[in-house]
Amino acid sequence: MVNLLFIGDVFGSPGREFLKLHLPSLISRYEANFVVVNGENAAGGNGLTPEVAQELFSYGVDVLTSGNHIWDKKEILPVMDTEQRILRPLNYPPGIPGRGSGVFQSRDGDPVGVINVCGRVFSPQNLDCPFRALDVEISRLKTITPVILVDFHAEATSEKVAAGWYVDGRVSALLGTHTHVQTADEIVLPNGTGYITDVGMTGSYEGVIGVKKDIILKHFLTQLPVRHEAAKGKRQLSGVFCRIDSSGKCEKIERILIRE
């Protein structure tokens, strides 16, 4: 049995501090033995640094997934090939640093496969097809473990919903990230895959998806480029809990939202 906690996009120091405050009690409450966090915005709201990654690991995080912003802090590049607990999207071109999947151990010794992919709809990057990339990687990981989690990092709701149906019965859970707004559609699909369109954001909700609201309002009103800064103020933690049986089927998915 794998009791999975997945925490959505941690945004800057407000998100890290709120995660540190609440993660121990969540691990206890759900008897979690495997914790995954999307950390692509954890360093100042843009990217990830080696120091911030180690900070998150020290809180009890087992694996960090990411997305298109993983490259925003160049300091992370030298460690992408050595720190296997940090994943970047699988469907980037070959030859770039890091890897898009891995097999890890839960705290009870069960192998858990984790795959990180980016969607393509409304994406500025020219990425390989995430559906075909999933086909190949799911087949490979299935020879190692029946428990497989997918972080599907994408803009379009339709693409994430389609991906959930596409992998139903082949992975334990497909959890959407990237839009920073938690959706209320958590479900165990007919063939045993836990699904939610977007897990949501961990950081200050007194802003615009984690960024100071005045900065974003200025951008919308003037169309001039702005430098993003993490919003301060009241914070939230967004996540999901999945209980996964030994065959890799999701028995339960529960949405988590904690606000101050």
Contact 109, 83 (CB under 8 A): no
Q: Which residues contact 125 (CB under 8 A, 6 or more apart)?
A: 68, 92, 118
Say if residue 219 carries a ligand binding annotation.
Answer: no
Residue 123: the pLDDT is 86
**pTM for this predicted structure:** 0.96
178 labeled part of a ligand binding site: yes
CA–CA dist 110, 104 (Å, integer): 8
| pLDDT of 124 above 90 | no
Residues 6+ apart with CB under 8 A from 45: 11, 12, 203, 210, 211, 228, 229, 230
CA distance 224 to 3: 45
Separation between Cα atoms, residue 88 and residue 138, nearest integer Å: 16
For the chain, the structural domain boundaries read 2-205+234-259
Active-site annotation holder among 22, 69, 219, 228: 69
Q: With a cut of 90, say whether residue 125 has pLDDT above it.
A: no
Residue with tokens 């980016």: 118
| DSSP assignment of 55-94 | HHHHTT--EEE--GGGGSSGGGGGGTTT-TTB---TTSPT
Annotation-wise, does 3 bind a ligand?
no
Query: Is 90 exceeded by the pLDDT of residue 26?
Result: yes
Look-up: residue for tokens 């993003």? 228
Q: Is CATH 3.40.720.10 the classification given to domain 2-205+234-259? A: no
Average pLDDT in the 236-255 region?
Answer: 98
Look at residue 114 and tell me whether its pLDDT is greater than 90: yes
Q: Is 74 exposed, middle or buried (0-12, 13-18, 19+ CB in 10 A)?
A: exposed
For 16, the 3-state DSSP assignment is helix
With a pLDDT cut of 90, the percent of the chain lying above it is: 97
- Answer yes or no: 69 catalytic: yes
Please give the pLDDT value at position 178: 96
Encode pLDDT of 166-217 as tens digits.
999 999 999 999 999 999 999 999 999 999 999 999 999 999 999 999 999 9
d(CA 209, CA 203): 9
Note the pLDDT tens digit of each residue in 127-178: 999 999 999 999 999 999 999 999 999 999 999 999 999 999 999 999 999 9
180 marked as binding residue: yes
The tens digit of pLDDT for each residue in 232-242 reads 999 999 999 99
pLDDT digit string (tens) for 37-46? Answer: 999 999 999 9
Q: How does DSSP classify residue 199?
A: -
If you search the block for the tokens 């906690």, which residue do you land on?
Answer: 5
What number is the average pLDDT over the span 37-63?
Answer: 97
Residue 126 pLDDT greater than 90, yes or no? no
* Residue 161 confidence (pLDDT): 98
* Mean of pLDDT values over 67-85: 95
Tell which phi-psi region holds residue 60, choosing left (phi > 0), alpha (psi between -120 and 50) or beta: left
